Structure 1
Amino acid sequence: MLVLGFPVGPLQANCYVLARGEGEPCVVVDPGQDAAEPLRTQLRERRLTPAAVLLTHGHFDHVFSAGEICAEHGIPAHIHPADRYMLTDPGAALGPAGRQLFGDGVAFEAPADVREIAGGDVLELAGLRFEVTHTPGHTGGSVLFGVEAEEGGRLLLSGDTLFAGAIGRTDLPGGDHGRMLKSLSTEVLPLDDDIVVLPGHGPTTTIGRERAGNPFLQDLPAPDALS
């Protein structure tokens, strides 16, 4: 299995490309600001053909180039319905301070073909099997994508739900700290320690490493206390 990752844009969001190998169809995850050109380079050098774009959530630093990539290759973008509005109104999720900071810099082309996904869905794309888990908190439509490597092992594309040593912020419109804690408690903590986490920002980690050392995962309330 081929897994490529590179940070893009001023906020250094991670864009990922997954395929069974070079010269194969691939899936692009979270093509954010300034992702189009480095993505084209990776596709050309590895002889990859995009089959779909997957979006872990709707924030502009993760979806900015999705419309351009989808139009260029005639492919759909997949996103949870709770975050779909951000594809056409990205400023709505920034809040007053964010809109003042970024201004018109968040305007982009929305994908023409948008397909809604939900927790529990399984997407068969480019010869890979992606399992969708809904983890509201950072945004209402945040999701995880789990995928098994043919060689063994499992990857988790966590978006801005889980980072190495941290979690996503919940103070922007659509964020909810209580829902984030519940998502972490019910959907992240039960996962196997050896799962490799590919986060939306920062370095790769594992569930076991985060369970042991991430301060935001320590002493989480029981799920029933968070309902």
Structure 2
Amino acid sequence: MSLAYETLPVTPFQQNCSLVWCSETREAALIDPGGELPRLLAAVKARGLTLKAIWLTHAHIDHAGGAGQLSREAALPIIGPHPGDQFWIDGLAQQSQMFGFPAAEPFVPQRWLADGDEVQIGHETLTVRHCPGHTPGHVVFYSASAGRVFVGDVLFAGSIGRTDFPRGNHGQLIEAIQHKLLTLPDETVVIPGHGPETRIGDERRSNPFLQ
């Protein structure tokens, strides 16, 4: 498999920012750079990678808080999330104040994502699945070749994303998990936005929220 990744928990919320790269071309993207940008850039440099893009699953502060600054300083395109999260992007400054985060720079994604879209890094292509419920514009990134899915706050080991935020929807979230994630092969490794990795089969069998 030429898709490689490293999980880098950032911010007081210990959000799993994923550094993903093509091991052949050494081109990389950061999924959900919520903060601690010097640490993220040091990881890119330590591995000898060339950062090409920022990919966002959704626009909550712990996932998107560093995206605007990183995009501006490193001249990187922000790709994602789905347009349903525009109101969360518009409210990043307010989110920063509410949770005591450093001020988040506003941004406009260079490219919005929709269900069925693809994103590419080097020779690696990942497919986009729109999974609303935690937020209306939440997307996940699936690599069939690597057997990995980067799910943000849709699904966790033994749990699911919160739906008590503005425009959250529990029914939508369960439907998205059932139709967009549980249809993946059992051995698919799930990289969530918080906590440890899990597998699709394990969550199908034992996640109490999905029984």
Structure 2 matches for 1:206-221, cutoff 5 A? Answer: 206-218=199-211
Aligned CA-pair RMSD:
2.0
CA contact (8 A) 2:8 2:18 kept: yes
- C-alpha deviation, 1:113, in angstroms: 4.9
- Any idea what SS the aligned residue of 2:191 has? strand
What is the match of residue 21 of structure 2? Answer: 19
CA contact (8 A) 2:189 2:200 kept: yes
1:166 is the counterpart of 2:155: no
4+ runs of 1 displaced by more than 3 Å? none
Larger-Rg structure: 1
In 2, Cα distance between equivalents of 1:37 and 1:135: 30
In 1, Cα distance between equivalents of 2:188 and 2:21: 18
Mark the CA change 1:114 to 1:86 in structure 2 (over 3 Å): closer, same or farther. Answer: farther
In 2, Cα distance between equivalents of 1:216 and 1:182: 12
Give the TM-score normalised by the residue count of structure 1. Answer: 0.85
What is the match of residue 76 of structure 2? Answer: 75
Post-superposition CA distance 1:178-217 (Å, at most 9, x none): 1111112211221110101010000111101111111111
What is the match of residue 88 of structure 1? Answer: 90
In 2, Cα distance between equivalents of 1:22 and 1:61: 30
- Any idea what SS the aligned residue of 2:73 has? helix
CA contact (8 A) 2:186 2:200 kept: yes
Instruction: Percent identity, please.
Output: 38
CA contact (8 A) 1:138 1:161 kept: yes
In 2, Cα distance between equivalents of 1:72 and 1:126: 22
- C-alpha deviation, 1:131, in angstroms: 0.3
How many residues align structurally? 208
Mark the CA change 1:129 to 1:122 in structure 2 (over 3 Å): closer, same or farther. Answer: same
Give the TM-score normalised by the residue count of structure 2. Answer: 0.91
CA contact (8 A) 1:119 1:132 kept: yes
Task: Compare 157-166 and 37-46 and name the one that shifted more.
Answer: 37-46
What runs of 5+ residues in structure 2 fail to find an aligned partner?
none
What runs of 5+ residues in structure 1 fail to find an aligned partner?
219-227
In 2, Cα distance between equivalents of 1:23 and 1:146: 20
